Amino acid sequence: MHVFGTRSFGEARVADVLEHAAISRKTFYEQFADKEACFMAAYEAAAQRVRDSVRVASRDQDDWDSSVRAGIEALLNFLAAEPELARLLLVEVTGAGPSALRARAGAVRSFAAMMARTSDEDAPLSAQVAAGGIWEVVHAWVLDGRAEQLPELADALFECARTQIEPGGSDEVKAATA
């Protein structure tokens, strides 16, 4: 994860991974088909850690406002505490190929589902829009090297989510007709 969190995907080399992990080329290729497969394994591991953090924080809340606020805060605090993972998850994923972009879209859908308190497949359009907007703002801050400052965004991002998503309502229709 360190290699992909400190260099662009294009600049990272298998040799960098070998050196950092202190493994042989043979061992690397026994585990991964190529650099992209290695990146995807690192991405999935990091994404799972973030998902777990967000889910734990949000599920322990009774009402929608508290749940969404806790999820957003958990996301921002995790990324601020792990700036290399933040870079891997939000910046380098965009240049790592189609599989990585699909995984990123899945992460955004998962975040939308958390905010809508539904499954990934059932996340309403308004929650997907809110999650995508949050993801893009966070991406810009990480790209600018401001990952450690992400928790400062919690109130503003929560307000954006609250104005976009109608908890328990039929916002799919509202969003489509607005």
133 or 97: which carries more pLDDT confidence? Answer: 133
Q: pLDDT per residue over 120-156, tens digit each? A: 678 889 999 999 999 999 999 999 999 999 999 999 9
Cβ atoms of residues 129 and 164 within 8 Å: yes
Q: pLDDT per residue over 16-40, tens digit each? A: 767 767 777 887 788 888 888 888 8
Say yes or no to pLDDT of 7 above 70. no
Does the predicted model carry a pTM greater than 0.85? no
Which 3 state secondary structure label does DSSP give 61?
coil
Could you please report the per-residue DSSP string of 39-91? HHHHHHHHHHHHHHHHHHHHHT-SSHHHHHHHHHHHHHHHHHH-HHHHHHHHT
| Structural domains of the chain in order of their starting residue, each with its CATH number | 2-177 (1.10.357.10)
